[in-house]
């Protein structure tokens, strides 16, 4: 078995999320699967939260993660960059399995470790509406979890006449 096989992963979409000093996640407005488009053409501010529970046997080990936004066809969504061609929205990060810590308490080795990745999209994303998108999460190149959401188009204006 590999570390990718043994890690439990969950993904949440939220209006806002951050990590406090104790490595706890603070989440507001989570659990949605439908969002809209603002007048500027972008989705509202959002956060993607990836939570991982890792068996204690992997403490001190490091593994690679990747979070990619894909469209309905399964292709990575690409956005233009200021310096050139469009680039896929993919975030890669190395994660080290830390020992859980509570000051003054010795925890046994079978207590799982946790790790999280929080990606805040303060300006939203300029996504074409009326489409389904999926966040795909991999560990060491192995697909581990995914979560889809739908972007609705703007409401139609009033009908006159």
Return the H-helix or E-strand segment holding 17: strand 8-19
pTM, entire model: 0.90
Domains of the chain: 3-151 (2.60.40.10)
Question: Minimal CA–CA distance to 12: which of 142, 28, 23?
Answer: 28
| Residue pLDDT, tens place only, 98-142 | 988 888 888 887 889 999 999 999 999 999 999 999 999 999 999
Centroid of chain to Cα 154: 25
């Amino acid at each position: 078995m590999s570390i990718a096989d043994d890690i439990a992963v969950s993904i949440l979409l939220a209006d806002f999320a951050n990590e406090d000093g104790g490595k706890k996640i603070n989440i507001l407005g989570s659990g949605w699967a439908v969002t809209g488009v603002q007048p500027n053409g972008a989705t509202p501010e959002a956060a993607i939260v990836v939570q991982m529970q890792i068996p204690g046997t992997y403490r001190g080990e490091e593994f690679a993660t990747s979070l990619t936004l894909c469209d309905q066809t399964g292709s990575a969504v690409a956005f233009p960059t200021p310096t050139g061609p469009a680039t896929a929205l993919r975030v890669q990060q190395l994660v080290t399995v830390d020992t859980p810590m509570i000051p003054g308490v010795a925890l046994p080795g079978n207590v799982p470790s946790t790790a999280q990745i929080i990606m805040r999209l303060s300006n939203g994303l300029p996504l074409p509406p009326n489409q389904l998108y999926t966040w795909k999460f991999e560990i060491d190149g192995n697909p581990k979890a995914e979560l889809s959401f739908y972007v609705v188009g703007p409401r139609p204006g009033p009908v006159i006449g």
